[in-house]
């Protein structure tokens, strides 16, 4: 306990932690969307998703170092903007390609196998990704270029909301809105929802189910790619094990919101972010992880299908 704060300070502190939590939470939400979409369609807990996120961060780091050569915020503004734009463009592409290839090579031949078989394969893919990350950048954390200013946008109000925080919100919120609109209003989105509801019926209606699944993996991968760039720029350090921890949080977020449910993943991500930050502030950093999983368990006890999950019967 860091000592009791004065009432005004406490209110300001609370608001501050709330802001921080929402920012971090929108990052988790972005990763959680990848989990939730894949789960919604093929009922696979994609254990490799977090590690894909890690590979994305390494790729973005590579982009900053090699073609751009921009590794500090002192570089001229156009170079900074170009670097971030290139990262946000190529990293999702890279992650999408990797994710679709993995689906094609590993998961697709197992389409009719029992669930456990596919989950174990996903664990295998996760191991391979982690090892690739280890060979790529070594076992110790690597500094990620600090490209965005830390200047406070809310100077004078007693709160802190930096350009970095703004960047997170400015990237994650439009991405999530675009995804929601895509799934709700486009033909492909409709095909995705149909496949999620009943793959066989969708196939009978002329939907190319394998293609829809590939698109889902591509979108999920791209979201992980976006999240990895944002994460790298925000946290400023990456290592080969970051995928596990953050993937776990994101997956918790997905389950908390009701896995397979897109708004649920966003809600879950924000909840996890806020709860984590508040626990960090009031209970100490070392308990925040335990609190997050405690909340997860409590929520699942009372709503076994998550906050927004439909009360469906298990597919038999």
Tokens 């991500």 sit on residue: 269
Q: Is 261 in the site for other proteins (CB under 8 A)?
A: no
Q: How far is the CB of 117 from other proteins (least distance, A)?
A: 5
Tokens 């939470």 sit on residue: 25
Q: Is 290 in the site for other proteins (CB under 8 A)?
A: yes
Q: Is 116 in the site for other proteins (CB under 8 A)?
A: yes
* Three-state SS annotation for the chain: CCCCCCHHHHHHHHHHHHHHHHHHHHHHHHHHHHHHHHHHHHCCCCCCHHHHHHHHHHHHHHHHHHHHCCCCCCCCHHHHHHHHHHHHHHHHHHHHHHHHHHHHHHHHHHCCCCHHHHHHHHHHHHHHHHHHHHHHHCCCCEECCCCCCCCECCCCCCCCCEHHHHHHHHHHHHHHHHHHHHHHHCHHHHHHHHHHHCHHHHHHCCCCHHHHHHHHHHHHHHHHHHHHHHHHHHHCEECCCHHHHHHHHHHHHHHHHCCCCHHHHHHHHHHHHHHHHHHHHHHCHHHHHHHHHHHHHHHHHHCCCCCCCCCCCCCC
The answer to whether the Cα torsion of 60, 66, 67, 68 is positive or negative is positive
Q: Is 314 in the site for other proteins (CB under 8 A)?
A: yes
Q: Using an 8 Å Cβ cutoff, are 254 and 39 in contact?
A: yes
Q: Which of residues 227-246 bind other proteins (CB under 8 A)?
A: 244
Q: Is 289 in the site for other proteins (CB under 8 A)?
A: yes
Q: Which of 64, 251, 257, 277 binds other proteins (CB under 8 A)?
A: 251
Q: Which of 37, 125, 226, 266 binds other proteins (CB under 8 A)?
A: 125
**Residue 268 CB-half CA count within 13 A:** 36
Q: How far is the CB of 96 from other proteins (least distance, A)?
A: 21
Q: Is 127 in the site for other proteins (CB under 8 A)?
A: yes
Contact region for other proteins (CB under 8 A) — 103-111, 152-160, 194-202, 211-219? 103-111
Q: Is 316 in the site for other proteins (CB under 8 A)?
A: yes
Q: Which of 5, 18, 86, 128 binds other proteins (CB under 8 A)?
A: 128
Contact region for other proteins (CB under 8 A) — 81-89, 126-134, 189-197, 208-216? 126-134
Q: Which of 43, 82, 136, 194 binds other proteins (CB under 8 A)?
A: 43
| # residues contacting other proteins (CB under 8 A) | 47
Contact region for other proteins (CB under 8 A) — 108-116, 152-160, 180-188, 225-233? 108-116
Site string for other proteins, 63-102 (x = CB under 8 A): ----------------------------------------
Q: How far is the CB of 84 from other proteins (least distance, A)?
A: 31
Residues of this chain that interact with other proteins (CB under 8 A) are 39, 43, 45, 106, 109-110, 113-121, 123-132, 134-135, 244, 248, 251-252, 255, 259, 286-287, 289-290, 293-294, 296-297, 300-301, 304-305, 314, 316
């Amino acid at each position: 306990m860091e000592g009791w704060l004065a009432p005004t300070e406490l209110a300001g502190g609370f608001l501050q932690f709330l802001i921080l939590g929402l920012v971090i939470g929108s990052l988790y939400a972005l990763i959680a969307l990848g989990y939730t979409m894949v789960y919604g369609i093929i009922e696979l807990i994609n254990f490799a998703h977090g590690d894909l996120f890690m590979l994305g961060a390494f790729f973005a780091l590579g982009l900053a170092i090699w073609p751009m050569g921009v590794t500090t915020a002192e570089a001229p503004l156009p170079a900074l903007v170009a670097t971030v734009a290139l990262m946000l463009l190529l990293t999702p592409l890279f992650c999408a390609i990797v994710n679709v290839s993995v689906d094609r090579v590993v998961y697709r031949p197992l389409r009719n196998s029992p669930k456990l078989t596919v989950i174990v394969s996903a664990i295998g893919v996760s191991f391979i990704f982690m090892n690739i990350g280890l060979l790529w950048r070594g076992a110790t954390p690597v500094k990620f270029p600090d490209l965005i200013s830390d200047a406070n946008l809310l100077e004078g109000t007693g709160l802190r909301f930096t350009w970095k925080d703004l960047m997170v919100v400015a990237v994650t919120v439009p991405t999530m809105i675009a995804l929601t609109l895509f799934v709700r209003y486009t033909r492909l989105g409709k095909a995705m929802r149909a496949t999620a509801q009943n793959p066989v019926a969708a196939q009978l209606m002329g939907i190319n189910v394998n293609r829809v699944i590939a698109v889902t993996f591509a979108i999920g991968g791209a979201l992980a790619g976006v999240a990895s760039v944002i994460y790298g720029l925000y946290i400023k350090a990456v290592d080969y094990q970051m995928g596990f921890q953050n993937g776990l949080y994101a997956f918790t977020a997905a389950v908390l919101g009701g896995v397979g449910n897109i708004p649920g993943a966003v809600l879950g991500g924000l909840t996890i972010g806020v709860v984590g930050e508040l626990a960090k502030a009031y209970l100490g950093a070392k308990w925040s992880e335990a609190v997050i999983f405690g909340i997860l368990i409590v929520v699942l006890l009372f709503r076994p299908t998550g906050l927004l999950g439909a009360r469906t019967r298990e597919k038999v």
